[in-house]
Amino acid sequence: MDLNPFRRFALSSRPPERRRSHWTVLISLGLALLAWEGTAHLAGLPAFILPAPAEVAARFVKSLSDGTLLRHTAATLLEIVLGLLVGTLFAIVIGYLIAKSRRFERLIAPYLVATQAIPIVAIAPLIVIWFGPGMFSKVLICSLIVFFPVLINTVVGVRAVPRSLHDLMRSLRATRLQILRYLEIPAALPIFLGGLRIGATLAVIGAVVGELVGSKQGLGFLINAARGQYDTALVFVAVFTLITLAITLYGVVAVLEAKFLKWQETPHP
Amino acid sequence: MPASPPTPILLVETLSAVFSDENGDLHALQDVTFSIQPQEFVCLLGPSGSGKSTLLRILAGLLPPTAGKFTFAGSNHLRIGMVFQQANLMPWRNVLENIMLPLELQGVLPDQARRRAQEMIELVNLQGFENAWPRDLSGGMAQRVALARALVHDPNLLLLDEPFGSLDALTRERMWTELSSIWQKRRKTVLMVTHSISEALFLADRVLVLTQRPGHICLDLKVDLPRPRTDDMRYSPHFGRLARKLKDAIG
């Protein structure tokens, strides 16, 4: 089994373009809020179907001051970070082995493809049944969803290291460890970070899916609980918090890229 | 009392290389035998497909020979400096860091490595480009960085694999002069692969001619042109006669 078909999943990582102007973003956001406020009032919808922005804002302040929001956000963030770490760690180790050994690739590829054929949403209930509604099942779901994109990009990244640079290292009598440190890691980093960028946003989805299926805390739990009480404003608060989390994680990876991939930036913007 | 013949730094004996693939065996080299004296500049000249790059890769330890052997003398610690056809720089390292690489691999302390890399920058005339990224360099500059990197760890043997093959004609000729003067300052033992007769004559003390596949050495020509070599020499009758000999040997 060849991993080549996966190649198209690998996104090479270029730091996202800097925003031309913050004004455009602010104006667009303002217009969207206005449209939302207008729709809520003009359509005369009850607050449990579409709360107006002002109500959501009020609910946000309330949930923030009584500590609910922070508690659930912290739980979800912890799941995401742990899941991201575990998933990435396994993806790096297995991805490196796949990249270096065709035999290992043939051995493991069918299982990898099989696990990817199953939608995570479908097996999330199973995982929660097996491992309980605690944090462990969420971390597991997170790491499963993070694993694949990071793995593929690790494989593609390590395989993309030019042969000629391997020749150079060998002519300098570099050890295996030196080849890893001075050649393979820096050479694979751009493509690897592209995978991590996708993984970071997927991790948010993984955590919420797990929490929606069964949990005692977290933003997914909060959404479920608020929905049960027709507290739609709180659902909105949780959703916006999730969006903020995802964007922040994406931003963290983008910062890493800017730090490590300086040499890739276009010289004249 | 007659002077004893100097010990060669490199002795290659009946070296052969055969590659096998689905089309059968490919005999790249057959019974190649020669030796190189310390501080000698030797060019390996041959048509494409004569296995000259294969020979260089075997000596660099990148390929195992099928038969025969080669021995390095004079030093227990063999250090090789190699320049490839492409500059082969690490794009994530700036010029100075690229030159420092061989020293880092040897565990030289960063301060000292930086100082020695800086000396190399001056040797190849790249002052002011220490912090440039490889992608911002011209072909000639990149190849000078590669040369500096190959020299920085004070190698016993410098292997050059058509190092100027990818450069335009004018840059290439300027690089000949530079390499020639660097060699005169450092006196390294050099084995350089080329398919250009004038390049070989301009640079080398000796030219070995490899035949078409399977490659073996059909001529070992001493180049008795005085040093430093100048552009004018390339238009002298003697240069022409030597070129003629090489041309005839290549066939």
Query: The domain spanning residue B213 has which CATH number?
Result: 3.40.50.300
Q: Note whether A173 contacts B61, CB cutoff 8 Å.
A: yes
Predicted confidence (pLDDT) per residue in A62-116, tens digit: 999 999 999 999 999 999 999 999 999 999 999 999 999 999 999 998 998 888 8
Q: Has residue B114 been placed in a domain?
A: yes
Of A35, A40, A43, A77, nearest to A55 (Cα)? Answer: A40
- Preferred mutation among A12, A13, A168, A177 to probe B, highest tally of B CBs within 10 A: A168
Query: Strands (DSSP E) along A96-176, which ranges?
Result: none
Could you tell me which residues come within 8 angstroms of residue A102 by beta carbon, excluding any fewer than 6 positions away?
Answer: none
CA distance B219 to B32: 12
H/E segment holding residue B206: strand B206-210
H/E segment holding residue A152: helix A135-159
- Preferred mutation among B53, B97, B101 to probe A, highest tally of A CBs within 10 A: B101
CA distance A70 to B208: 77
Q: Note whether A164 contacts B101, CB cutoff 8 Å.
A: no
Q: Has residue B33 been placed in a domain?
A: no
Q: Has residue B20 been placed in a domain?
A: no
CA distance B146 to B159: 12
> Higher model confidence: residue B24 or residue A33?
A33
Q: Has residue B6 been placed in a domain?
A: no
Residue by residue, pLDDT tens for chain B (251 residues) are 455 567 888 999 998 988 887 777 888 898 999 999 989 999 999 888 778 889 999 999 899 999 998 888 766 668 899 999 999 999 999 999 999 999 999 999 999 999 999 999 999 999 999 999 999 999 999 999 999 999 999 998 999 999 998 889 888 998 999 899 889 888 889 999 998 999 999 999 999 999 888 888 889 999 999 988 888 888 999 999 999 999 998 87
Predicted confidence (pLDDT) per residue in B75-133, tens digit: 666 889 999 999 999 999 999 999 999 999 999 999 999 999 999 999 999 999 999 99
CA distance B32 to B12: 7
User: What per-residue confidence (pLDDT) applies to A117?
Assistant: 84
Binned at pLDDT 50, 70 and 90, residue A4 comes out as very low
User: What per-residue confidence (pLDDT) applies to A118?
Assistant: 85
Binned at pLDDT 50, 70 and 90, residue A13 comes out as very low
Q: Note whether B105 contacts A167, CB cutoff 8 Å.
A: no
Q: Has residue B22 been placed in a domain?
A: no
Tally of structural domains, chain B = 1
Considering only the beta carbons, identify the residue of A164, A189, A267 that sits closest to B88. Answer: A164
CA distance B68 to B15: 4
Range A156-179 burial, b when 16+ CB lie within 10 A, else e: bbbbebeeebbbbbbbbbbeeebb
Q: Flag whether residue B101 sits within 8 Å of chain A, measured between CB atoms.
A: yes
Q: Has residue B53 been placed in a domain?
A: yes
Of A184, A55, A144, nearest to B90 (Cα)? Answer: A184
CA distance A213 to A215: 7
Yes or no: say if A139 and A90 are a contact pair by the CB < 8 Å rule: no
User: What per-residue confidence (pLDDT) applies to B74?
Assistant: 63
Considering only the beta carbons, identify the residue of B80, B93, B94 that sits closest to A171. Answer: B80
Which domain covers residue B176, as residue numbers?
38-63+77-250
Nearest CA in chain A to B56: A171
Binned at pLDDT 50, 70 and 90, residue A268 comes out as very low
Considering only the beta carbons, identify the residue of A178, A189, A261 that sits closest to B105. Answer: A178
CA distance B120 to B83: 15
Average pLDDT, chain A: 88
Type of residue numbered B245: K
Q: Flag whether residue B211 sits within 8 Å of chain A, measured between CB atoms.
A: no
User: What per-residue confidence (pLDDT) applies to B228?
Assistant: 86
* Token duo for residue A207: 């955590």
Could you tell me which residues come within 8 angstroms of residue B121 by beta carbon, excluding any fewer than 6 positions away?
Answer: B95, B96, B99, B127, B129, B130, B148
What's the full length of chain A, in residues?
Answer: 269
Binned at pLDDT 50, 70 and 90, residue A181 comes out as very high
B-chain CB neighbours of A168 within 8 Å are: 82, 84, 88
Strand B80-83 vs strand B10-21: parallel, antiparallel, or unpaired?
A: unpaired
Distance from CA of B226 to the nearest CA of A (A): 33
User: What per-residue confidence (pLDDT) applies to A18?
Assistant: 53
Instruction: Evaluate if residue A5 carries a pLDDT over 60.
Output: no
Q: Has residue B86 been placed in a domain?
A: yes
User: What per-residue confidence (pLDDT) applies to B5?
Assistant: 65
Q: Note whether A167 contacts B92, CB cutoff 8 Å.
A: no
Angstrom distances, CA of residue A20 to CA of A16, A17, A255, B37:
12, 8, 18, 63
Q: Note whether A187 contacts B90, CB cutoff 8 Å.
A: yes
A-chain CB neighbours of B62 within 8 Å are: 167, 170-171
Three-state SS at B35: strand
Q: Has residue B96 been placed in a domain?
A: yes
ipTM of this complex prediction, to 2 decimal places? 0.91
Q: Residues A163-179: what's their mean pLDDT?
A: 95
Instruction: Please give the DSSP secondary-structure letter assigned to residue B215.
Output: B
CATH 1.10.10.10 assigned to domain A58-263? The reply is no
A-chain CB neighbours of B86 within 8 Å are: 164
Structural domain boundaries of chain A? 58-263
Of B28, B57, B48, B33, nearest to B250 (Cα)? Answer: B48
Binned at pLDDT 50, 70 and 90, residue A6 comes out as very low
Predicted confidence (pLDDT) per residue in A144-164, tens digit: 999 999 999 999 999 999 999
CA distance B183 to B179: 6
Considering only the beta carbons, identify the residue of B62, B80, B88 that sits closest to A165. Answer: B88
A-chain CB neighbours of B84 within 8 Å are: 164, 167-168
